[in-house]
Amino acid sequence: MPAEQPTLPVTTAPELPRLGSTVEYEKFLDCVHCGLCTSACPTYLETGDENNSPRGRIYLMRAVTDGRLEMTNTVKRHLDLCLDCRSCETACPSGVQYGRLIEPFRVDMQKAEARRGNDAAKGWFNRWIMYGLFPYPERMRWALWPARIMQTLGLDRLAEGVGLTKLLPQRLQRMQSQLPRLQPSTPRFPDVLPAIGPRRARVGLFTGCVADAMFSHVNWATARVLQANGCEVVIPKAQACCGAIHYHSGADLPALDFANRNSVAFAQDDLDAVIINVAGCGAMLKDYGHIAHEVAPQDHQQAEQLEKFAHKVRDISEFLAELGPIKPTGEIRLRATYHDACHLVHAQKIREQPRDLLSLVPGLELIPLVESEICCGAAGSYNLTEPEMSDRLAERKLANILATKPQAVITGNAGCSLQIQASIRKAGHKIWVAHPMEILDLSYRGEKPSVG
C-alpha cells in the first residue's frame, strides 16, 4: 500500500477588518431618518442630493458596514464631500452624534485605500504639506518668511497680476490665495504670564500650529484678555498640534500621538482650565476621550487620561462666561457682524457666549448675519481638497456678510478667518476679519482698531 501522505496545514489569509467596524453600531440606530437635518446641511443645500445629506450619508455608511452596499467610488464621493461641520447635530431631535460616525468611518476608509495601494498619506501634498508642515508652527513660521517679504515689497500682488501664481500646482495656488496679510512677528511666549489684579484662576493656553504661525497676534490678545480678567496664564512649551489635521483625513495613530503629547504637556493639577481660541482645535481637544476609544479601545488607561484632559478644555468665550467677565471700558465704534464657526456652535454648542462678550464692548454695533450657522466652506483642509464646493459655500457666506454692510466680520476660528478674508479680498472689498478676543483686547487696553 502506498505510504500515507502527511496532511499539510491549511493556511488562510487573515481576515481584513470590516469597513465601519470601529464605529459604535448603536450610533447608526439613533438616526430615525426624519430629515430635519437636511435644511441645516451645507452640501445638501447646495446640491439637493439626498446622498449629500446627513441622513443619506448615515444610510450609506450603515449599508456598507452591514455588507449591503459596496464601497464604490460613487459612495466614497458622497462621504468625501461631507464638511464634517456637524450642523446636523444641532438640528437633530434624536441626538445623533454624526461626528462620531463620519470621523472613525473615514479612518476606516483611509486604511482600506492604503491596503489597496492608494495611501493618500504618501502623496506629496499630504506627506510634505498637510502632515509635514501644517502641524509644526516653527516650520510654518520659516515657510511664511518668503511670503512676508513678498507682501512687504508688493511682489505678491505683482505675481498674481502677471499670472505667475498660476504656474503653481492647484493646491498650492489655493494656499497662496488663502494667505492673509501677515501681521508683524510677535515675541515668543514666556512660560507664565501673571494675572492683573487678584488672581481668579490659573489656566493653560493652547496656542495651536497653523493658528500660532499665522495668528500669533490673536494668541497674544487672548492671553492679555485672560490676564485682564485675573488669570495667570501658563503656556507649556511641550504642547503640540491638536491632531485634527491627521484625524479628519483618516490618519488616526499620529492624531492619537499628538493627543497624548498634549495631555502630558498640560498635566498640571492646579490648572483650572485649558483655554483654546480656535473652534476646530477646541472641538478636537474635547473629543480626545472619544478618539481614544475609537483608535485604541483596549487601552483604558490612555482613554481615562485623555478624557481627564478633555474635561478641562474650554473655548475662551465659554471660559470667560463661566468665570464672569470684567467689563471692558474702551469704546470700539464699529459696525460688525458675527459668523458662527461650525465647530464652535455645532460641535461645542457655544452660541451666545461670544455674542454676550462682544455686547459688553462700548460702541460696538453687532448686526445679525443671515445663515450665520451655515459653514463658510473652510472646514479645516476642505477648502484645499474640495475647492468647487468650498467656493460655492464661500460665495454664499460672502453674499450674506455684504448684506449687513459691515466694517468688520468677527469669528472664532482660524480656518473661517482665512476663508472669509480671502473671499472678501477676491471680491474687491476691504473688511476687517477679526477674532472676538482682538475686539475685547483693544477695549481693555483703550486702543482703537485700524479700521472704521
Listed residues 102, 118, 134: the one ending a domain: 118
Q: What is the dihedral of CA 273, 279, 280, 286, to 10 degrees?
A: 30
Q: Rounded distance, CA 194 to CA 176, Å?
A: 38
pLDDT at 100 (0 to 100): 92
Residue 365 within a domain: yes
Angle at 193 between CA 189 and CA 198, to 5 degrees: 165
Residue 109 within a domain: yes
Residue 101 within a domain: yes
Res. 9: pLDDT tops 50: no
Q: Model confidence over 407-435: pLDDT tens digits?
A: 999 999 999 999 999 999 999 999 999 99
Res. 357: pLDDT tops 90: yes
Q: Rounded distance, CA 216 to CA 205, Å?
A: 12
Q: Is residue 273 within a helix (H) or strand (E), and if so which, with residue range?
A: strand 273-276
pLDDT at 1 (0 to 100): 45
Listed residues 91, 118, 145: the one ending a domain: 118
Q: Model confidence over 363-376: pLDDT tens digits?
A: 999 999 999 999 99
pLDDT at 336 (0 to 100): 98
Domain count for the chain, please give it: 2
Q: Rounded distance, CA 347 to CA 44, Å?
A: 19
pLDDT at 12 (0 to 100): 42
- DSSP symbol at 334: E
Residue 2 within a domain: no
Residue 237 within a domain: no
Q: From 305, 227, 297, select the one nearest 265 (Cα to Cα).
A: 305
Q: Model confidence over 275-305: pLDDT tens digits?
A: 999 999 999 999 999 999 999 999 999 999 9
Residue 59 within a domain: yes
CATH number, domain of 39, equals 1.10.1060.10
Res. 345: pLDDT tops 90: yes
Q: Which residues fall within 8 angstroms of residue 51, CB to CB, at 6 or more apart?
A: 57, 60, 78
Residue 263 within a domain: no
Return the amino acid letter for 382. Answer: Y
Print the domain residue range for 382.
327-445
CATH number, domain of 438, equals 3.40.50.1860
**Burial per residue of 215-251, b for 16 or more beta-carbon CB atoms within 10 angstroms, e otherwise:** bbbbbbbbbbbbbbbbbbbbbbeebbbbbbbbbbbbb
Listed residues 83, 118, 153: the one ending a domain: 118
pTM for the model stands at 0.91
pLDDT at 180 (0 to 100): 82
Q: 331: which 3 cell numbers?
A: 469704546
Residue 275 within a domain: no
Q: 399: which 3 cell numbers?
A: 453674499
Q: How many CA atoms lie within 13 A of 16 on its CB side?
A: 11
